[in-house]
Every structure is written in C-alpha cells, then in structure tokens.
Amino acid sequence: MTAKVYSYMRFSDARQAGGASSERQGAYAAAWAREHALLLDETLSMRDEGLSAFHQRHVKKGALGVFLKAVEDGQVPAGSFLVVEGLDRLSRAEPIQAQAQLTAIISAGISVVTASDGKVYSRDRLKANPMDLVYSLLVMIRAHEESDTKSKRVRDAIRRQCQGWIAGTYRGLIRYGKSPGWLHVVNGRWELIPERVEAIRTAVDMFRRGLGTGHIAKTLHDAGLSMSAGLPTSGHLVRLLANPALKGEKHLVLEPDTHVLESYYPAVIDADVWTELQQLVDLRSRRHVRGQIPSLLTGFGVAVCGYCGSPMKSQTMANKRRDDGTLADGHRRLQCVRVNSGESCVVKGSCSSAPIERALMRYCSDMVNLQSLYDGDRGALPRSELTAASARLQDIETKLERITEALLESTDGAPATFIRRARELEAGRDLARDQVRRAERALAEAARSDLTGADERWKALIEGVEGLDYEARMRARQLVADTFERIVVYHSGMRPAADKRSIDVILQAKGGTARQLRITADNTLAAWDEVPSTASL
C-alpha cells in the first residue's frame, strides 16, 4: 500500500469546530501533503468534537480510537503520516499512557507530524535524536498537568454549586453529567418536553400494572411514543425506571462524595410512585418472563413442590393453540424442576396449571377470602428486616468510627491491617445501606397495600387470564407476586395414594396466614381451610 497523510483534529468543546483553528489545522495537513508529494486521505481524516483527551473519550468513543484500531489491523500503510496540531491534541492522559499511544503509532511505521512546531516523530528520527522522545514526554507531562489542574478547578466549582443548592443559596444550572432526555433548558431553566413525558408516564403506568419492559417498549414504538431522541428499548426502560431524575433529583458523584440535589429537575412522577417503582424493579429483576403466555405461578420463586420443596416450572405447548388462540388445559403443565434430573422428585408426574390458576383467581376475587389471608400484620416481615438491617448498619458504622479514631491518634502512620479492615467495613457499610433502603421500600409498599378494591382487581382479570391475554396475565402475575410469599403445590394431592385425583395447594400470604385449596378431578374448588401454623411449608 502507498503511504498517505492523515489529519486528526480534536476539540474538547464542539463549538470550537467552526472557528479558525479547524481551518488552520485542515489547511496545514493539506499543505504538508502537497509539499511531500503525498495523498491526503480524507476518508480516514478525523475530527473529534466535544471529546476530552484528558479522560481518553476520544480514544474510547471518538475517531482517534477508530484510527488506532485501523493501525492495529494493518489498514493504514506503513510509512504514512498522521498530522496533528500538537501532541496535546493527541492525548492529555497520564504521561505514561500518552507516550504509550504515541509509541504504538510510531512502532506501526506511522510518523506523527505536529503542525504547531513542524516536528516529525518517527522511528528513524527518534533513533537519530533520542532527545525528541524526552521532549515529547515533557510536552505530555505539561498537557496532563494543565488538564488535571483545570479538571480540579471545574470539580471544585461544581462541588460549591452542589453545596449551595443543598443549602438553598444557589438555584442556577449545574453543568455536570448527562441531562435527562425528557428535559431541555429554556431561558436558563429546565422544562419538560411534553411528548416525551407522555411516553414516560405511559411506560410507568404499564410497568406498575405488571407489564414487562419488552412489551412496553414495543407498545410505545407502535404508538409513535419515545422518551428520548432514540427509539424505546427494553434496556433503556430498565435504566429509566431506576433514574432518580424522574422524581426531580440529580445525583452527582464527585469523589469521595455523592451529592443529592432534591427538586433540581421538574418531577415527572412523585416520590411515592418512584419508591414503588424501585420495589417493583427489584422484584422484577428476579422474574424473567418468556414467551407470549406468561405463567402466573412460576419464574419468580413463589411456587414450590409440596413433596420435595424444589421450585416448580411451567411447560407450555404453544404450538397447540386453538383457532381462538386458547389452549386445552392439558397443554399447560406444572411440574417439579427435579422431575427430569438425576435426583428425581419423590412423587413423579405433573398437573395442568389451568385449574390452579382458576382456583387462585376465584379465591382472590372474594374479599372475605383476602381478609382471611391477612389476619396478621402485613408490615411485620419488612419491619423486622428493616430492624435487622439497621442494626447491622449501626454496628458497622460504630466499628468504622473506632478505627478512624485509632488512626487519628496514631503517631506512627496508618497500619496496613487497619486500612484493609477499614476498606472491608466501608464495603460492608455500602451493602448494609442498600439492604436498609430495600427494607424501607418493602415496608412502605406494605403500608400502601390496602385491601380496599383488591377483590375487584383480581376479578377484572379473570376473563383475560382464562383467554391467555398477555397484558391480563402479566397484571395477574404481578398480583400473585405482591400477595403471596409462597404457593406450595401438591400435583397429586397431599396423600398421593389416596388423593390421586385431586390437586392440593397451600397459599402463604406475605405477612399473613396460610390457606389450603383442594381442586378435585372435575376442577371444582372443594375446600379452602386455614392451615395450622405448625404446618410445614
């Protein structure tokens, strides 16, 4: 391949791209190519606008990264030249990293030309004049120090703005980090973009009704709704639902602190709804739904085998659908996960999931039955979990305080064992804080879960569940997950020999009591009795 000239221009602020610097750099590269009778290859001549060389974003995301990959792959002919305004345009990273990039380019047979001083850095020239290598290192050291100093000044200014916001003395914009896609700045203030907010509120409503993110993304796409400049995707939705900016908060991480700015953005949803979303996201992360017929019972750790205690699994023969889209009861099966494993379940076999679903939907559509499930305190379990998590957090913080005091009193420096133990405790403290937050959300959810109208919510879904409607089944699945701690299934009855023609189910409500359902061979719900507290679940 014939040697060529390539031009690289970088601007940390994209607004600089339209100025004289851009024209000057482009003209120099063209003139240098003409002077040396070489072709300026504009197909790989590069511009990185708004990408920092200090943080290496021009390598990770920009055109320089593409060029380095092309050099590595042998697509750039040996003997070619890369023209840059100065070495600081190439990199402002730590000197050892910056010089490694320069060395990699030169080692591949590519010469680097700096327009600011006309220097050429090539293998032959550096061999003849090694001091040029020292000079390049000094330039890189200076460039890194300048950027490092500027970065610290910017971070300090941002930190002061954050502190001012928290104290109530500053109410301006804080230019740091990426802004939410549903907001824009108008006259120095954040304002909501109505069509994107509509999409977000639609997505939140659908998610709270139990629908999956993939289904929601498709629905939004079909309706022409988008929450940002791009198309809605499942992954985008998951990140969106966890974003505190929805309730108006901006979180800025400026090591070692995280600043939480309340009411920084206009809120799309209120704080209570956002807290509920986090509870749902946490639960849904353990519930992956496959196929177009979501199971009401399996896939989220609630349904277990009554004979061995292992999880239950669903088996759906979707290719056996009737003309109206439904399936015969026998084509939707429920069985123990151990049925086909080396350690087989003590009672082999399976049962149709349809009669269990009908019995469950019918039972929960009666307010008397729901009330009987909750004779106890629904908040007892999350309250005890919160107490335990808070105690763990307090214990860790006390130990950290003791280590900190010991380090402050030490005159011989910090022992390595103390530092290592402090780091371990800090990691444990972060974990304990997460556990406290989850327990607080669970307790708040239990407090909000009033039974008023609950029977009607179940009743409204019966027809859709029976007709295998995706949305109805997803909503019913959510109700099951919210209501029950465990559902124990005896597919051949509690006494398989005597109860061969029946299915027994024990429903254990969250924070409530347990009830037994018996489904006879003709799919009749024969009994629902309270299970003694000593019963093994």
CATH number, residue 68: 3.40.50.1390
Quick one: which of 198, 246, 207 has its CA closest to 226?
A: 198
What was the pLDDT predicted at 413?
A: 59
- Angle among Cα 351, 355, 358 to the nearest 5 degrees reads 150
Inside any domain, residue 166:
no
In the DSSP assignment, the letter for residue 490 is: E
Average the pLDDT over 245-258 and give the result. Answer: 88
Inside any domain, residue 154:
no
What was the pLDDT predicted at 23?
A: 73
Q: Are residues 26 and 116 in the same domain?
A: yes
In the DSSP assignment, the letter for residue 311 is: B
Does the bond joining 382 to the residue before it have cis omega, within 30 degrees of 0?
A: no
Q: Are residues 431 and 489 in the same domain?
A: no
Average the pLDDT over 127-136 and give the result. Answer: 88
- Angle among Cα 463, 464, 470 to the nearest 5 degrees reads 165
Q: Are residues 188 and 117 in the same domain?
A: no
Q: Are residues 365 and 481 in the same domain?
A: yes
Percent of the chain whose pLDDT exceeds 90: 22
Average the pLDDT over 373-397 and give the result. Answer: 76
Instruction: Count Cβ atoms within 10 A of the Cβ of residue 162 and give its class: 0-12 exposed, 13-18 middle, 19 or more buried.
Output: buried
Question: Does residue 17 carry a pLDDT above 80?
Answer: no
Inside any domain, residue 169:
no
Distance of CA 53 to the CA centre of its chain: 28
What was the pLDDT predicted at 532?
A: 45
Task: Tell me the C-alpha distance between 41 and 472, whole Å.
Answer: 59
Task: Tell me the C-alpha distance between 471 and 465, whole Å.
Answer: 9
What was the pLDDT predicted at 452?
A: 74
Percent of the chain whose pLDDT exceeds 70: 82
What are the tens digits of pLDDT across the range 76-122? Answer: 888 889 888 888 777 777 778 888 888 888 888 889 988 878 889 99
Q: Are residues 111 and 11 in the same domain?
A: yes
Final residue in a domain of this structure, among 89, 118, 146: 146
Q: Are residues 481 and 413 in the same domain?
A: no
What was the pLDDT predicted at 136?
A: 86
Inside any domain, residue 51:
yes
Residue ranges with strand state E in 233-347: 250-254, 257-261, 303-305, 312-316, 332-336
Enumerate the β-bridge partners of residue 251.
Answer: 260
Distance of CA 140 to the CA centre of its chain: 37
Inside any domain, residue 295:
no
What was the pLDDT predicted at 72?
A: 79
Question: Does residue 202 carry a pLDDT above 90?
Answer: yes
Q: Are residues 386 and 492 in the same domain?
A: no
Question: Does residue 291 carry a pLDDT above 80?
Answer: no
Question: Does residue 530 carry a pLDDT above 70?
Answer: no
Task: Give the best-scoring range by mean pLDDT among 6-10, 285-289, 293-297, 373-377.
Answer: 293-297
Q: Position 440: which residue type?
A: E
Q: Are residues 444 and 461 in the same domain?
A: no
Q: Are residues 389 and 423 in the same domain?
A: yes
Question: Does residue 529 carry a pLDDT above 70?
Answer: no
Task: Give the best-scoring range by mean pLDDT among 178-187, 320-329, 399-408, 433-442.
Answer: 178-187
Boundaries of domain holding 357: 303-376+455-530
Enumerate the β-bridge partners of residue 504.
Answer: 490, 518
Q: Are residues 19 and 130 in the same domain?
A: yes
Q: Are residues 15 and 126 in the same domain?
A: yes
Task: Tell me the C-alpha distance between 42 and 278, whole Å.
Answer: 49
Confidence band for 383, pLDDT divided at 50, 70 and 90 = confident
| Owner of token pair 């300048």 | 146
Structure tokens at 505: 């189910």
Inside any domain, residue 48:
yes
Number of folded domains in the chain? Answer: 4
Average the pLDDT over 155-177 and give the result. Answer: 90
CB 2 within 8 A of CB 77: yes
What are the tens digits of pLDDT across the range 56-86? Answer: 444 444 466 777 777 777 778 888 898 888 8
Question: Does residue 483 carry a pLDDT above 50?
Answer: yes
CA end-to-end span of the chain: 74
Q: Are residues 372 and 391 in the same domain?
A: no
Question: Does residue 377 carry a pLDDT above 60?
Answer: no
Inside any domain, residue 311:
yes
